[in-house]
Amino acid sequence: MAKRIFIWVAHPKHGSLNAALAARYADGARTQGAEVREMALADMQFSEAFEGYDPNKEGSAPALAPDLQAWQDNMQWADHVLIVHPYWWGAMPSRAKAVLDMALLPGFAFKYHKRGVKWDKLLSGRTGDAIITSDTPPWLDTLLYLRPGRRVIRNQVLKFCGIAPRKIVQLGSVKLAKDGQVGKWLDRAQRMGARAAMAGGA
């Protein structure tokens, strides 16, 4: 059975390096027979106005905009997920974070137990990759800041919902990169996509 892979480009602008990396990842996955769905944050329309929800009460969040519902549907459909985002002030862009805030809801992505601090991970059985681009060199981000972007996407997004992380990659420095370096990053993204399509389940 072909692997189902959902690729989300979490960059608010069209024509980004993130989009190019995602396209090459998709190419690699398709060469190995994967079925691929793609969404770009730059195409998504929704209001970022959000006051939160009661995490102990399913259905307490406002109704989802159609693009957020489509994002949820793609997450549920997928065996494997790729999130590609730039690294702004130690995190993904605010509009990308808004998608997670509004769409990774209780009853969809997780469900807290009535007692204690444990929860059910409702997206279990899936695997995930992430590609993060940064102007800060990854080694410097690790040394000075303890790699917060990579830690958050691995532990507090993917793992929290039950998605088993495979490759969490930070590429940089983008502002210092020559064409040859960018080409190597694109080739790496294509290899990651091929490996994702061939890999077993979580």
- pLDDT values of the chain reduced to their tens digit, one per residue, 202 residues: 899 999 999 999 999 999 999 999 999 999 999 999 999 999 999 999 998 888 777 777 789 999 999 999 999 999 999 999 999 999 999 999 999 999 999 999 999 999 999 999 999 999 999 999 999 999 999 999 999 999 999 999 999 999 999 999 999 999 999 999 999 999 999 999 999 999 876 6
Structure-token pair, residue 30: 């398709």
Q: Containing domain of residue 165, as a range?
A: 4-198
Structural domain tally of the chain? 1
Q: Which of 56, 52, 147 lies closest to 101, judged by CA? A: 52
Amino acid identity of residue 110, one-letter, is F
d(CA 98, CA 80): 21
Q: Which distant-in-sequence residues (6+ apart) come within 8 Å of 154 by Cβ?
A: 130, 165, 168
**CA dist., res. 75 & res. 99, Å (int):** 12
Give CA angle at 174 (170, 176), nearest 5°.
Answer: 130
Domain holding 31: CATH number? 3.40.50.360
Instruction: Tell me phi and psi for residue 31, to 5 degrees.
Output: -65, -20
Amino acid at 65: A
